[in-house]
Structures are given as structure tokens and as C-alpha cells.
Chains A and B, each alone.
Chain A
Amino acid sequence: MLRTATIALLLTLHAAFPAMTRAAAPADATAAPWSLTDLAGQTRQPFNDPTTRALALVFITPDCPIANFYQPTLRKLGEEFADSGVPLFMIHSDPDVTADAAQRHVEKFEITAPVILDHAQSIARRVDAKITPEAIIVDRAGKILYRGRIDNFYEALGRKRRAATEHDFHDALAAVADGRPVANPVTKALGCHIPFAEKAGEGEAPAEPRTP
């Protein structure tokens, strides 16, 4: 309740000072063609390939234990869906992650997917990513086909199952690769938060963990 009052007050403030909401333009995944430059400096425009159905983006941070825990799973998913028209990318949207740090992280966790540095955080904003690890599948038209967790191995922070029982990201990739609708298109990502440089959009989105 107090929290709501504070948010309401902040909202009022934002209304009074519209300049503050400058960076809070709504995420629009349709705007520009996708162009992703990986750590090796290679720029890809995956939709130039007519067989590309959608992009699978996984947001990560090098020091997030849950994001790191999933790297072996993500490597397997990358192999399984290598030629399925849904290329997988790892995205660092933390501006403090240097190319060197990202490269060391690639080596330590044996990451095989292309790794993209999103220092401007434009990719994260474009698809409205907030968590690491958060998996997002976005199609050619900018439609979000899947958003959420990789699987349900973590039930809550610090609370793991013995094994995952729902493999949501895998199932979403499989559906998109087959041209089927994703049965469970929104799940809750669990892990760390992407540290946005400016608290853009604070007025609109409550800072509470989002239910996507």
C-alpha cells in the first residue's frame, strides 16, 4: 500500500516533468532490422536469411549464478536447434561488461552461441528484457513468441528441483522451428536483474518483480 502510494507520487512527478520519461519509449521490436555484432566483431543480420523464422535471445550477466548454471543447457539447445531457423544469441546488456570480460566468460562457460554486447541496452529495451537469464523468441514481424525461463529447475531463488519437469524454452524453440504456435508463450524468468543505466520507465512499470 505504501509502495503504491510512492509509485503514485512518482507517477505524478513524471507527469509534472515529462522530460524525465524521455528514455521510456515503449519497446517496439518491429522498428529496425535486426543487426547483431558479436564479440569477434562479426555483424549479422539474421533475417536476411529467408529461412530464419525467429531469433532466440538469451540475456545473461557474467556474475549471475542462475544464468551461468544454464550455460550447459543452452549449449545443448544451441546444438539441437542449430539449423532450425531460430538462431540463438547470448546478450550482455550490462554496460559494465567489457569485451574482455565477456570473452573470458565465453571461455569459462564454453559458450558456443554468438555473444552480443548490448552496451546501449537497446536490445534489452527493444524486447523488454529485465532478467538474466531471460529467454525471448522474437519473429520477423517483431512479435514476441516466447518470453521467460529456460526451464523450471529453479522454483525460486535458492530453491532448486532435483530435475526440471517443464522445459519451456526448449518446447518453444521446437514449436517455432516447426511453425507451430508456442503452447506456453509466457513464463516467469528467475535470476538477476539487468542493471539499466537509467531508471527509464520507472514511472510505468512497478519495480516489483514483473509477472510477464
Chain B
Amino acid sequence: MHRLTFRPLAATAAALTLIIAGAVPRSAGANDEKPAAPTFNRDVAPIVFAQCAPCHRPGEAAPFALLTYQDVKKRADLVTAVTASRYMPPWHAEPIATAFHGERRLTDDQIELLRAWVDAGMPEGDAADLPPQPEFTPGWQLGQPDLIVQMSEEFEVPADGPDLYRNFAIPLGLTEDKWVRAVEFRPSAPTVVHHSLFFLDPTGQASREPGFARLSFEGAARRGRGQGDLGGGSNGRSLGGWAVGASPLPLPAGLAFRVPAGADLILSTHFHPSGTVERERSVVGIYFADKKPERSFTGVQLPPVFGALAGVEIPAGEKRYTKTDSFTLPVAVDAFGVNSHAHYLGKEMELTATLPNGEAIDLLRINDFDFNWQEQYQYEEFVRLPAGTRLEARVTWDNSADNPRNPSNPPVAVKWGRESTDEMGSVSLRMMPVDEADLELLQQSYRDHVRAAARERMSQRPAWRERLKRWIAASASNDEAVE
């Protein structure tokens, strides 16, 4: 049949392409002069099993399984298109010198290999080359949690319309203070739950507030005024978060979050309608540390208070509106996690460290920020930053009509605020002082930084005095995490 003639010739063509592109797959045999065309079993399956299957398998969020030759062959054109554009696997941080935990990023060679495989006619290859099917732990990934809580009722996600954000308060029922080393999140309707950020309301008010879920974009900002700003807003204390495909990750080095008795857990969840009504009732597993951890951590957010003090006022149509902030570390720290926050107009996020010896290190770089993928990035290893290291953050917003995520059409002037059409912007670094005794100095120094920013802001806007006082009080009352 003609196909028999066709395949090897096409394979040669693909092999040529490969040689030129420099993405030569491992040779098939010892006395094989020419590099062989990539096959599914030998070359494609390892990539797909590691990089796609965690989400593309039954019961997970992604639309179809990518577990077998047939699964991938059938969608091969789409697979090459979505990998070439780097839409898949979803990952928004640019690669930096330090690897991120769970980094989902194909190398250029891997992308080229997928394409070469398709060009070669998608050969299946030798069955002996096929790696074993990836195994996934069913149920709780970190083992049986110490405490399991769930949303008090179902939330109905409509079939249609724009993405939604809702806050859900769940009483934890703790009668004593606890130390939490990990939080695991399990959506009940995985096709519509995109991500969820976890916060603490230490006062436990949120769960007593009827209709809390419907309050403004980030927590109960409006009605909560004077009641301690609940929720996912600037003053809520973070407990990390979950996004599609994320595996739960305990804090490193035995660190833990302190959770006071009576506190509520707040889930700030992002839903995307799927064409049919779905009902979500998330279940959360909480893992306690046995005792107070020996080491403490803290956070440095730049600009502070999610940019509230930075005077964010983005003119309509402005394509690159930028705010920067910097802070010099008074003590040596080990940085272990980083995340960034903005709303729909956020475009670029950057955090760099300049060490006292002049060496510059990238800590986070996002060139196409996507509100929908707000990951909690954790470094695979601690990044040591000596005393005197200068942290520099840069946030850029795009308020032009070219930004398809712009909620206003035509664009309007946008200021800092908690509603979805307002903006925020900051990058936060989590760190542990190298010497535990330095914690107080580090926190004091960051509080001074926040105060200085606030003073400057107040001198420009006297009417802000009251509001700012509250913010400073909240951001300075950080025991473990300043978020």
C-alpha cells in the first residue's frame, strides 16, 4: 500500500528537519548512523506522561485524556499547536536560574520533537520503548489530613458568561491555636474550578456574615470596613493556594502557618463556566505540625499592601503603566516562595535581587501575567540572599484596548481597589531569616518600609489618613506571614 512507501520517506524528511534543528532524539540502535525519527513510545510518551497526563486524565480538570498513543495521535495537530504557542502546559513564570517546584515547561527541543513526530507521520515505535503508564495517587496527595472541612453549601456555577470569583468562609472549629504545614484542596466540579487562594480570617467573623461569598471581588472589603477587612484582600493572611494541576506542597524546612483558635478559612475561588451548570462544594484537608516550628518565616511584598500605597492611577488606553518598589534586606535570608497579584490589566511582574557583591538574581519574571493562573511558586531550593541584598519589584499594567482581558471597552481610567475593575499589583517573596534571632529586625525593617510609603502617600492625599492607618496596622501585625 502507498502508506508503506510514504512513511519511511516522510520519516527521512523529518529526520533531516531534526538534524538541522539540532533536536536529535536518542538513536534507536548502536549501528544506526542516521538519527531515527521520533516515535511515540520512545520520545513522545515520556514528555506527555510527565507534562500533560497530570491534568489530562479522567477526573481531572483538563478536557480529554492524553495517556495513550491513540489519545495523542488523534489530537496531534492541536498538541503541536498548543505546545508551540506555549499555551500548554500552562505555566506563566519564565525560567530563571533557580528551578520552581513543579515547573511545567517544555524545552524548545521537546516542542520541536513533538512537531517532528507529527511531521514523521506519528509513528508509534517499538512497544518495548513505552515507559510505564504514569501513576497518580488517588485521593489525598499528602495522606490522610488532620482536619477535613468543606464548603457549608454548594455553589452553583452558571452555564454561561464571564469567569466568576467568589469567597467562601469555612469555620475551622479550632479550640486552640494550631500550626498548619500544608493545605490540600479538592474541587468537586473540577472542570469549572480554576484556582482558589486560601486565607485566614483570624476573628472568625466571615462565616457569620450572610452572603459573604457575594461581597466584593476580594473579600468583604466594602462591608468589612472597620471590621478588620476579611477575606482575600490585602489584609487577609495567606495560607497559599491551589490552581488546576497543582500538587499540594508543604512549607519547606518544617515551617508552618499559625492558625488561631476560632479562625475561619476563606477560599477565594475562581470559576470558569463550561457550557453547563455545575455545582461546587470544595473539600479542604489541613495538615498540622505537631508543635510550634523551630523556625519562622515572613513575607516581603513590593509594593506593599498590593500596591495600595503606590498611587496606582492608570490612564485609559495606557499600554505600559509601571510601578516599582525596592527594599534592602537588613539580614541574611533564605527565600523559598514567590507569588504575584494583579487584576485583569496586570501584564508583567518582575522581582530581582541585587546581592551586595553586585550579582543580580531573577526571583520571578512573568511576561504575560494571567489573573487566571495565579500560582504560588515555591523554589526547589532555598535562595540565599545575604544582608544588604536589594530586592526590586516591577509591576506593569496594560490598560489599552489591545489587551483582550481589559474589562472595560473602551478602556477607562483605573485606580487601586478591590473590585474586579479596579487594579492592584505587587510581588511577594517568602523568606526565612538565616538566623532565627534576626526575624524581629527583618520584620521591623519591612514595617518601616511600609510606613515610609504610607507617609509619602499621605502627604499627597490627606483624606487617606484614616484608611492608611488601618492598612499599616494590618500589614504590620504580621506574626508569621505578611500578606
Q: Which of B24-32, B78-86, B301-309, B441-449 contacts A (4 or more CB under 8 A)?
A: B78-86
Q: Is A72 an interface residue (CB 8 A)?
A: yes
Please determine whether A158 and B405 come into contact, CB atoms closer than 8 angstroms.
no
Q: Which of B9-17, B245-253, B283-291, B452-460 contacts A (4 or more CB under 8 A)?
A: B9-17
Given A10-B13, A193-B75, A17 contacting B63 (CB threshold 8 A): no
Given A2-B20, A17-B2, A17-B5, A193 contacting B405 (CB threshold 8 A): no
Given A9-B13, A72-B159, A162-B407, A64 contacting B87 (CB threshold 8 A): no
Q: How far apart are A131's CB and chain B's nearest CB, in angstroms?
A: 10
Q: Is B358 an interface residue (CB 8 A)?
A: no
| Contact residue among B17, B274, B370 (Cβ-Cβ distance under 8 Å from A65) | B274
Bound Cα distance A209, B407 (Å) = 28
Which A residues lie within 8 Å of B17 (CB)? 2-3, 5-6
Chain A 161-188 near chain B by CB (<8 Å), digits 1 or 0: 1110100000000000000000000000
Please determine whether B119 and A109 come into contact, CB atoms closer than 8 angstroms.
no
Those of B63-96 within 8 Å (CB) of chain A: 63-64, 74-75, 77-78, 80-82, 85, 87, 90
Q: Is B118 an interface residue (CB 8 A)?
A: yes
Q: Is B185 an interface residue (CB 8 A)?
A: no
Question: What is the chain B residue whose CB lies nearest that of A95?
Answer: B74
Please determine whether B77 and A207 come into contact, CB atoms closer than 8 angstroms.
yes
Q: How far apart are B84's CB and chain A's nearest CB, in angstroms?
A: 10
| Contact residue among B90, B275, B404 (Cβ-Cβ distance under 8 Å from A70) | B275
Q: Is B6 an interface residue (CB 8 A)?
A: yes
| Contact residue among A20, A68, A157, A207 (Cβ-Cβ distance under 8 Å from B274) | A68
Q: Is A28 an interface residue (CB 8 A)?
A: no
Q: Is B21 an interface residue (CB 8 A)?
A: yes
Q: Is A142 an interface residue (CB 8 A)?
A: no
Those of B27-82 within 8 Å (CB) of chain A: 63-64, 74-75, 77-78, 80-82
Chain A 190-212 near chain B by CB (<8 Å), digits 1 or 0: 00110100000000000101000
Given A73-B160, A193-B77, A209-B81, A68 contacting B344 (CB threshold 8 A): no
Which A residues lie within 8 Å of B2 (CB)? 17, 19-20
Please determine whether B10 and A195 come into contact, CB atoms closer than 8 angstroms.
no
Which A residues lie within 8 Å of B10 (CB)? 10, 13
Number of B residues, CB within 8 Å of A = 44
Please determine whether A13 and B9 come into contact, CB atoms closer than 8 angstroms.
yes
Given A6-B13, A17-B5, A110 contacting B276 (CB threshold 8 A): yes
Q: Is A80 an interface residue (CB 8 A)?
A: no
Q: How far apart are A99's CB and chain B's nearest CB, in angstroms?
A: 19
Please determine whether A192 and B78 come into contact, CB atoms closer than 8 angstroms.
yes
Which A residues lie within 8 Å of B160 (CB)? 69, 72-73
Q: Is B177 an interface residue (CB 8 A)?
A: no
Please determine whether B13 and A159 come into contact, CB atoms closer than 8 angstroms.
no
Which A residues lie within 8 Å of B74 (CB)? 96, 195
Q: Is B162 an interface residue (CB 8 A)?
A: yes
Number of A residues, CB within 8 Å of B = 38
Bound Cα distance A209, B118 (Å) = 14
Bound Cα distance A65, B63 (Å) = 6
Question: What is the chain A residue whose CB lies nearest that of B80?
Answer: A207
Chain A 19-48 near chain B by CB (<8 Å), digits 1 or 0: 110000000000000000000000000000
| Contact residue among A13, A19, A109, A209 (Cβ-Cβ distance under 8 Å from B275) | A109
Question: What is the chain A residue whose CB lies nearest that of B158?
Answer: A72
Q: Is A160 an interface residue (CB 8 A)?
A: yes
Q: Is B409 an interface residue (CB 8 A)?
A: yes
Please determine whether B9 and A63 come into contact, CB atoms closer than 8 angstroms.
no
Question: What is the chain B residue whose CB lies nearest that of A96?
Answer: B74
Please determine whether B118 and A207 come into contact, CB atoms closer than 8 angstroms.
yes
Which B residues lie within 8 Å of A2 (CB)? 17, 20-21
Which B residues lie within 8 Å of A165 (CB)? 409
Given A69-B275, A72-B160, A108-B276, A20 contacting B405 (CB threshold 8 A): no
Please determine whether A192 and B75 come into contact, CB atoms closer than 8 angstroms.
yes
Which A residues lie within 8 Å of B406 (CB)? 162
Bound Cα distance A161, B85 (Å) = 19
Q: How far apart are B65's CB and chain A's nearest CB, in angstroms?
A: 9
Q: Is B273 an interface residue (CB 8 A)?
A: yes
Which A residues lie within 8 Å of B20 (CB)? 2
Q: How far apart are B58's CB and chain A's nearest CB, in angstroms?
A: 11
Which B residues lie within 8 Å of A19 (CB)? 2
Bound Cα distance A159, B78 (Å) = 16
Q: Is B380 an interface residue (CB 8 A)?
A: no
Q: Is B435 an interface residue (CB 8 A)?
A: no
Please determine whether A195 and B275 come into contact, CB atoms closer than 8 angstroms.
no
Those of B106-152 within 8 Å (CB) of chain A: 118-119
Please determine whether A63 and B64 come into contact, CB atoms closer than 8 angstroms.
yes
Given A159-B370, A193-B78: 14 more A-B contacts, CB < 8 Å: A2-B17, A13-B9, A17-B5, A17-B6, A69-B273, A71-B276, A72-B160, A158-B87, A159-B405, A161-B404, A161-B405, A192-B78, A195-B75, A207-B80
10 residue pairs, one from A and one from B, having the closest CB atoms: A155-B404, A72-B160, A68-B275, A63-B64, A71-B275, A162-B407, A9-B13, A195-B74, A69-B275, A193-B78
**B positions within 8 Å CB-CB of A:** 2-3, 5-6, 9-10, 13-14, 16-17, 20-21, 63-64, 74-75, 77-78, 80-82, 85, 87, 90, 118-119, 159-160, 162-163, 191, 272-276, 344, 370, 372, 404-407, 409
